[in-house]
Each structure stands twice: as structure tokens, then as C-alpha cells.
């Protein structure tokens, strides 16, 4: 079974600054995917970024980027130029590949507050 650990229950950052959210995972799989989801107060789950484990290049989506360290089983999210709308709970998630793709295991989440 896979586990996902987010060791930062809460983080805060000033608007326009950069913040990094941490995530570690444990798996014996070779084929898997990692995700960061955002859950604003509306509680709608929004996909922020997706990383395929077989790709060495770190995924980026505009102001969001990841630092994927496969050997260390680490998958951190960097948010650059933080905006007030980034205030939300952020979840790291793991999915096996193959026929089990989509069966997500989530971390406990990090509440991020962006201050003006």
C-alpha cells in the first residue's frame, strides 16, 4: 500500500512571495503518478499539477512547479508570485499506473494562507 505524508499542517506567505509545500511518499511501484490538488473554501477539488514518475523533468504550470526527487520519494510544490486566490488547502496525491490508475491516495493536506 502507498502512503503520502505532508508534514506541514499550515503555511503562510506574503502576497507576491514564493512558498514551497512539502510531500513525501512511499511505494514499491515503479509506474506511478503524483499530483497536487487545491481545495479552496468552496471545497471544490482542483488539479494544480501532475507528474509522471518516469519523467525526470519537473512539471510546471504557470506559477506552479514541482521538485520531484524520485530516489528520495519527495514531491514538493513551489508557488511563485503568490496571490490571494492561492489561499486554500493543498493536497499531495499518489496514483498507481496501469489498470489501477486513478485510485488516488491523498496526504493530510497543508492549509496555505496568502497574506496581503
Partner 1 sequence: SQTIHQWPATLVQPVGSPLSLECTVEGTSNPNLYWYRQAAGRGLQLLFYSVGIGQISSEVPQNLSASRPQDRQFILSSKKLLLSDSGFYLCAWSGSFDGREYFGPGTRLTVT
Pick from 16, 47, 55, 115 the residue near partner 1 by CB under 8 A: 47
The nearer residue to partner 1, 79 or 109, going by C-beta atoms, is 109
- Cα dihedral 88, 115, 68, 29, rounded to 10, equals -20
**Among residues 8, 28, 3, which one has the least CA distance to residue 94?**
3
**What span, in angstroms and rounded, lies between the C-alpha atoms of 8 and 83?**
20
CB count within 10 Å of CB 59 equals: 19
Q: How many residues bind partner 1 (CB under 8 A)?
A: 21
- Identified binder of partner 1 from the candidate list 32, 75, 91, 94, rule CB under 8 A: 91
Of 13, 50, 70, 76, the residue at the interface with partner 1 (CB under 8 A) is 50
Q: Dump the DSSP string for 22-53.
A: --EEE-S-SSEEEEEEEE-TT---EEEEEEET
Report the nearest approach of partner 1 to the CB of residue 81 (Å): 24
- The stretch near partner 1 (CB under 8 A) out of 24-32, 63-71, 79-87, 106-114 is 106-114
The contact set with partner 1 (CB under 8 A) reads 4, 33, 35, 43-45, 47, 50, 89, 91, 93, 95, 101-109
Amino acid at each position: 500500500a502507498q502512503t503520502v505524508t505532508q508534514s506541514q499542517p499550515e503555511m503562510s506567505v506574503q502576497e507576491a512571495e514564493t512558498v514551497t509545500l512539502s510531500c513525501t511518499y512511499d511505494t514499491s511501484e515503479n509506474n506511478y503518478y503524483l499530483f497536487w490538488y487545491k481545495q479552496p473554501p468552496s471545497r471544490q477539488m482542483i488539479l494544480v499539477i501532475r507528474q509522471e514518475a518516469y519523467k525526470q523533468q519537473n512539471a510546471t504550470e504557470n506559477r506552479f512547479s514541482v521538485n520531484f526527487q524520485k530516489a528520495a520519494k519527495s514531491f514538493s510544490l513551489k508557488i511563485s508570485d503568490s496571490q490571494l486566490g492561492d489561499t486554500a488547502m493543498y493536497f499531495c496525491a499518489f496514483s498507481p499506473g496501469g489498470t489501477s490508475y486513478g485510485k488516488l491516495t491523498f496526504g493530510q493536506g497543508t492549509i496555505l494562507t496568502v497574506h496581503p
